[in-house]
């Protein structure tokens, strides 16, 4: 049968990414131009700066993606693009490029939800078996999702305030770590111990929601109090204590969800899925409580924002006969799953 090739675009935040995916499983190219350096001096992503970078990068990334994959527009089955959630100005750059190319080359335009992309990054690693459970943890999201069938998402719970990655970035700043701080906090955490016993918010509540702003405040208050009385705290222990709290809440809620909804696979997705502590804690708890459930964690490059995951999700849209978008497609900054 004919090769099914999808050209995918992802510009929802601060990475400009273009990929070519074959049959929803194989990555022929996955170009990622990160803007982190431009945002670091502001301590976070500046939307206007992000949009400008996307404009400057997107055509070059597209050329690279096609060249590396060794395909031309005539080989493609469809063009896919993230249309939300994300920064509206950033999303619109990817959408404009995808629309123009779909129109010029008479290709269907597939609108993809960024969170579905994070979840279907797992499809690039392992064939998925429905229903499966997904924990999406990123700079903007903390969601526990039951995926009952292809593209059928049941949101079981989500954060009521900060996302997990956002909390990492905020406490990282207090520790003097550059944005995005998650990776460095993770490294420090492995050198320390959970001596502070920060709160585990909502851990005993009978729901699948999360809250991280109380933990963030407890952390910041503890550090400020110490500096006022001239006490020196070990950064490693602070990081380890923060990470233990985040991990314990995420893992405990996920275990409760798995007890209630029988599945064969658990996917962890999003930038925070790169967290070594979370991976270790999740796999240990899974081995103890649900040894028959398979844990799927995409490799680091597929955990952060990238277009390969958008191509993987787009193949699911093609397979399920989801309608293509027309040229009126707009960005939806607060799109739900
Ligand atoms: O998915 P992503 O690349 O972008 C969003 O859609 O938000 O996630 C970025 C987030 C940042 O908050 C970053 O600090 C966090 O993922 N992150 C980590 C680690 N690596 C990245 N958080 C904890 N541990 C890590 N190893
Ligand atoms: Zn993301």
15 lines ligand 1 (CB under 6 A): no
State the distance from the centre of ligand 2 to the C-alpha of 227, rounded, in angstroms: 35
* pLDDT at position 1 over 60: no
State the distance from the centre of ligand 2 to the C-alpha of 196, rounded, in angstroms: 30
* Percent residues over pLDDT 90 in the chain: 93
Helix boundaries (H) for 105-199 = 114-120, 164-174, 182-189
Binding residues for substrate: 136-140, 169, 182, 186, 275
CA nearest neighbour of 244 among 269, 218, 209, 270? 218
Residue 283 has which token pair?
């796999």
Spatial distance between the Cα atoms of 196 and 211, rounded to a whole number of angstroms: 18
Q: What is the ipTM of this complex?
A: 0.98
Those residues whose C-beta lies under 8 Å from the C-beta of residue 249, and which sit 6 or more positions away, are 200, 201, 202, 203, 210
Domains contained in the chain, CATH given: 5-120+302-319 (3.30.420.40), 129-297 (3.30.420.40)
State the distance from the centre of ligand 2 to the C-alpha of 337, rounded, in angstroms: 13
Residue 197 has which token pair?
């016993």
Alpha-carbon 198 to chain mean position: 25
Using one digit for the tens of pLDDT, what is the confidence trace for 101-158? 999 999 999 999 999 999 999 999 999 999 999 999 999 999 999 999 999 999 999 9
Per-residue pLDDT band at 96 (split at 50, 70, 90)? very high
- Using DSSP's 3-state secondary structure scheme, residue 329 falls into coil
For residue 19, list its beta bridge partners. Answer: 8, 30
186 lines ligand 1 (CB under 6 A): yes
Per-residue pLDDT band at 177 (split at 50, 70, 90)? very high
Those residues whose C-beta lies under 8 Å from the C-beta of residue 71, and which sit 6 or more positions away, are 5, 20, 28
Spatial distance between the Cα atoms of 196 and 217, rounded to a whole number of angstroms: 13
Can you give the pLDDT at residue 36? 84
271 lines ligand 1 (CB under 6 A): yes
Distances (CA, A) of 44 to 177, 191, 238, 279: 12, 26, 22, 25
85 lines ligand 1 (CB under 6 A): no
Average pLDDT score over the chain: 96
Query: Taking the model in full, what pTM does it have?
Result: 0.95
State the distance from the centre of ligand 1 to the C-alpha of 76, rounded, in angstroms: 31
Spatial distance between the Cα atoms of 276 and 223, rounded to a whole number of angstroms: 24
**By alpha-carbon position, which residue is closest to atom 23 of ligand 1?**
182
Residue linked to tokens 């089955």? 77
Residue 264: DSSP 8-state = S
* pLDDT at position 22 over 80: yes
* Percent residues over pLDDT 70 in the chain: 99
**By alpha-carbon position, which residue is closest to atom 3 of ligand 1?**
304
Spatial distance between the Cα atoms of 218 and 263, rounded to a whole number of angstroms: 36
Binding residues for Fe cation: 114, 118, 305
Helix boundaries (H) for the chain = 36-40, 47-69, 88-104, 114-120, 164-174, 182-189, 213-228, 235-260, 276-289, 300-303, 307-319
Choosing from 120, 174, 182 the residue with most ligand 1 atoms within 8 A of its CB, the one to mutate for a pocket test is 182
Arithmetic mean of pLDDT, 194-198: 98
Using alpha carbons only, give the angle 287, 256, 303 rounded to the nearest 5 degrees: 65
173 lines ligand 1 (CB under 6 A): no
Alpha-carbon 285 to chain mean position: 22
Choosing from 138, 175, 276 the residue with most ligand 1 atoms within 8 A of its CB, the one to mutate for a pocket test is 138
142 lines ligand 1 (CB under 6 A): no
**By alpha-carbon position, which residue is closest to atom 7 of ligand 1?**
139
Using one digit for the tens of pLDDT, what is the confidence trace for 238-297? 999 999 999 999 999 999 999 999 999 999 999 999 999 999 999 999 999 999 999 999
State the distance from the centre of ligand 2 to the C-alpha of 149, rounded, in angstroms: 22
Torsion of CA 247, 288, 208, 242, to 10 degrees: -10
Q: Which residue has the higher pLDDT, 257 or 36?
A: 257
Choosing from 272, 277, 282, 301 the residue with most ligand 1 atoms within 8 A of its CB, the one to mutate for a pocket test is 272
144, 118 Cβ separation under 8 angstroms: no
CA nearest neighbour of 10 among 86, 108, 100? 86
169 lines ligand 1 (CB under 6 A): yes
247, 281 Cβ separation under 8 angstroms: yes
Atom of ligand 1 nearest to the CA of 163: 12
Those residues whose C-beta lies under 8 Å from the C-beta of residue 45, and which sit 6 or more positions away, are 13, 14, 35, 39, 87
Arithmetic mean of pLDDT, 9-13: 97
* pLDDT at position 181 over 60: yes
Per-residue pLDDT band at 201 (split at 50, 70, 90)? very high
């Amino acid at each position: 049968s004919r090769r099914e090739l999808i050209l995918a675009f992802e510009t929802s935040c601060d990475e400009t990414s273009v990929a070519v995916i074959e049959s929803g499983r194989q990555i022929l190219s996955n170009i990622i131009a990160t803007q982190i350096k431009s945002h670091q001096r502001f301590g976070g992503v500046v939307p206007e700066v992000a949009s400008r970078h996307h404009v400057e990068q997107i055509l070059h990334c597209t050329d690279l993606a096609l060249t590396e994959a060794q395909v031309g527009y005539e080989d493609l089955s469809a063009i896919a693009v993230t249309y939300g959630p994300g920064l509206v100005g950033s999303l619109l750059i990817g959408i404009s490029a995808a629309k123009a190319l779909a129109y010029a080359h008479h290709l269907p335009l597939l609108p993809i939800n960024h969170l579905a992309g994070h979840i279907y990054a797992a499809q690039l690693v392992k064939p998925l078996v429905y229903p499966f459970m997904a924990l999406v943890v990123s700079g903007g999201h903390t969601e526990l999702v039951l995926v009952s069938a292809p593209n059928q998402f049941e949101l079981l719970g989500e954060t009521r305030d900060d996302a997990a990655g956002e909390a990492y970035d905020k406490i990282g700043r207090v520790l003097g770590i550059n944005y995005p701080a998650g990776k460095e906090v993770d490294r420090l955490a492995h050198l320390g111990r959970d001596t502070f016993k920060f709160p585990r918010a909502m851990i005993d509540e009978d729901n699948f929601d999360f809250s991280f702003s109380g933990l963030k405040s407890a952390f910041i208050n503890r550090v400020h109090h110490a500096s006022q009385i001239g006490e020196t705290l070990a950064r490693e222990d602070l990081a380890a204590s923060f990470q233990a709290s985040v991990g314990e809440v995420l893992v405990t809620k996920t275990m409760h969800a798995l007890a209630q909804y029988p599945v064969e696979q658990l996917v962890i997705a999003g930038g925070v899925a790169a967290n070594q502590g979370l991976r270790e804690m999740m796999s240990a708890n899974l081995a103890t409580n649900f040894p028959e459930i398979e844990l799927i964690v995409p490799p680091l490059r597929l955990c952060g924002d990238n277009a390969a995951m958008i191509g993987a999700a787009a193949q699911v849209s093609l397979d399920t006969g989801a309608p293509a978008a027309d040229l009126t497609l707009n960005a939806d900054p607060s799109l739900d799953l």
